[in-house]
Amino acid sequence: MTTPHRLLARAEAQVHQNLFTMTNKAHQSVEQAMEALKTQNAELAQTVVNEDLQQNHLMRIIEKECLQILATLEPKAGDLREVVASLQICTELERISDHAKDIANIVLGMDPSDFSGPMDRLAAMGDLCQTMLVQVMEAYENLDVKLAEHVALHDQRVDELDEEASSSLMMTLMNSADTSMHCTHLLWIAYHLERIGDRITNIAERVTFMVTAETPELG
């Protein structure tokens, strides 16, 4: 007979698997959205938009799995924190994909002349967010609080790059009114990348909660 402990372990393993599927899709969405921006690739941007529904579906599956665990298996202590954290993490992953979709939609609306400006800073923000996402889910898998804290430190650099890009774009806007649409597009992209960094930091906080039962402000 399968014991309650084994049933719980099996159910948690399924949640983990789906969370990592969501992570891979979120990472791919950010990567593809930034590649579409760099290469002016409307087809790739449209792919990001079209595939976002898959993340919504996965989030609903994970929510259902976690609620089923809570209702039928009555997890305690660390197991309970893990289920609660997983519910919150799947929401953050879905929102990361939403931000990537928003970037892709902006790319679809951009004129070829818009593809200039502080692209190096935007690209650096995108690369850093992708690195953070990989690391934070490694911290989740290994219950590594130190790595989670390290990920949050990266977010400070994302914020710095956002400030640099935004300042550059605002200066351009003040000096040349006819660049307003161009600057607005890139300001929104910087905003979405900064929010992705914040979402990943939220995941890092959830990892810390899983291990320590405390919720620090890492951002």
Q: Is position 217 within any domain? A: no
68 is a domain residue: yes
User: What is the DSSP annotation of 48-98?
Assistant: HHHHHHHHHHHHHHHHHHHHHHHHHT---HHHHHHHHHHHHHHHHHHHHHH
Range of the domain at 73: 4-212
Q: Is residue 140 part of a domain?
A: yes
Q: Which amino acid is at 9?
A: A
User: What is the model's pTM?
Assistant: 0.94
Residue 219 domain-assigned? no
pLDDT profile of the chain (219 residues), mean per 10: 80 94 97 95 96 95 95 89 95 98 95 72 96 96 94 94 93 78 91 98 95 82
Note whether residue 50 is domain-resident. Answer: yes
CA 87 to chain centre: 15
User: What's the pLDDT score for residue 6?
Assistant: 87
pLDDT of residue 125: 97
Residue 201 lies in a domain: yes
Residue 98 lies in a domain: yes
Burial (0-12, 13-18, 19+ Cβ within 10 Å), 77: exposed
On the 0-12 / 13-18 / 19+ scale of CB atoms within 10 A, 157 is: middle
CATH number at residue 202: 1.20.58.220
pLDDT at 1: 52
Q: Number of structural domains, the chain?
A: 1
Q: What is the pLDDT of residue 23?
A: 96
pLDDT at site 115:
57
Q: Is 218 inside any structural domain?
A: no
pLDDT at 10: 93
Q: Where are the alpha helices (DSSP H) in the chain?
A: 4-39, 42-72, 77-108, 119-142, 145-175, 180-212
pLDDT at residue 52, rounded to an integer = 93
Residue 116 confidence (pLDDT): 65
Query: What per-residue confidence (pLDDT) applies to 75?
Result: 87
